[in-house]
Structure 1
């Protein structure tokens, strides 16, 4: 039996290496998660800010790429992204959500939130993305 949601893509090599996996994907929304492991930590023993940015970038990019069918893949690229670092995690799992907030056929705008499983708000982001091949 396959419990995997057939609308969720397998992670890219870098996401797989970091332990980041997509956990939700619908029109204008995407979510990725990662367990906090030693490979994600900085010198202070907390997840590196680049991990937060990578997770937010991934979730926000996917939020504008949903087609409903894996065989009809829509690729995107980041034009700009601003991350605001607010707190440190209290839990053991990072959860990034991205929401498409507007845009047109080619360029779209997003908002992102990074929390942990306790609900602690760790970082927020906004981004502008372009759909490739449109």
Structure 2
């Protein structure tokens, strides 16, 4: 578990996803599956999948270990592969920094539900601000 927690953005508060773990090279968000995030088929909208992957992967490269020294990043590229439909009641997204340098970093993410079912995978390139 992280020693400190990033305050949620207005967008995260609006959609209802929470940062539950954050450490060097890793971030995890969780979100309840509710009607408000459903598409016409009653499934979580693909934009929710992309949002969670983008958020977890982007934050995975911003850990400093110091709550007074915040690092920000911008998404340069986001790739999402939609794989399955949820069977559970929560979405769980884990992002991991996989490499990079001084100005950019690379990350990968996995989105599952609380039953362990794989829903989506993603990769991204991020630039430090």
Tell me, yes or no, whether TM beats 0.5: yes
Alpha-carbon displacement from aligned partner over 1:39-87 (angstroms, at most 9, x marks no partner): 1101100000000000000000000000112211000000001000000
Deviation (angstroms), 1:6: 5.0
Q: 2:3, 2:65 within 8 Å by CA — same for their partners in 1?
A: no
User: Where in structure 1 do 4 or more consecutive aligned residues deviate above 6 Å?
Assistant: none
Instruction: Look up the match of 2:47.
Output: 50
Question: Structure 2: which 5+ residue stretches go unaligned?
Answer: none
TM-score normalised by L of structure 1 = 0.93
Query: Matches of residues 1-134 of structure 1 in structure 2 within 5 Å?
Result: 6-132=3-129
Q: Distance in 1 between matches of 2:52 and 2:97?
A: 15
TM-score normalised by L of structure 2 = 0.97
Secondary structure (helix, strand or coil) at the match of 1:70 reads: coil
Q: Distance in 1 between matches of 2:66 and 2:92?
A: 24
Q: Distance in 1 between matches of 2:66 and 2:55?
A: 18
Question: Structure 1: which 5+ residue stretches go unaligned?
Answer: none
Deviation (angstroms), 1:10: 1.6
